[in-house]
Amino acid sequence: MPTSHTLAMFDAAAGRPPAANYPQLDLRNATLVLDFDDTAAESIDFVGLLPTTYTAGDFEAIVTWAATSATTGSVVWQAEFERHPIDDATFGTHDLDDDSFGTSSTVTTAVASAAGEIAQSTISLTASDADSPAAGETYRLRITRLASDASDTLTGDAELVAVELREV
């Protein structure tokens, strides 16, 4: 069985909105969540630093979420990784003024059986699709709900609780 380990964990408060089309902060009981709309693609960015224990493996982004009110339907989540290379012979350096996300990956996950119950979606990203990042580099992980995708059938908001980035 392959091993994996956590590289970073982000709660809803760690999210940084892009310039447009981002989810709204909300409270569910005493839990801070990000409400992703059901009518438009909305994204949130998480910024991190790859630890020295990162060994150039592939990634999993594990999205922990709940539905605001729905008890049926599915959500399509997308993950994209933006490497911030430091003087890399192949990729050069990164200009923070420009977006340079790698190839995106998606997953479709059914809602839990009751509104407010937790569901998890695991999105696989290859290191090569993320431009082969290295330990010690900063990055952005963008999570998007693709509400206009035909497979996204959840009516109402999807509430993002947390995201874990794992090396697999």
Give 47-105 pLDDT, tens digit per residue.
Answer: 999 999 999 999 999 999 999 999 999 999 999 999 988 776 666 666 777 788 999 99
- Predicted TM-score (pTM) of this structure: 0.93
Write out the DSSP string of 57-120. Answer: --EEEEEEEEESS-SS-EEEEEEEEEEE-SSBTTTB---TTS------EEEEEEPPSSTT--EE
Which domains does the chain carry? Answer: 5-167 (2.60.120.260)
Q: Which of 150, 158, 79 is nearest to 111 (CA)?
A: 158
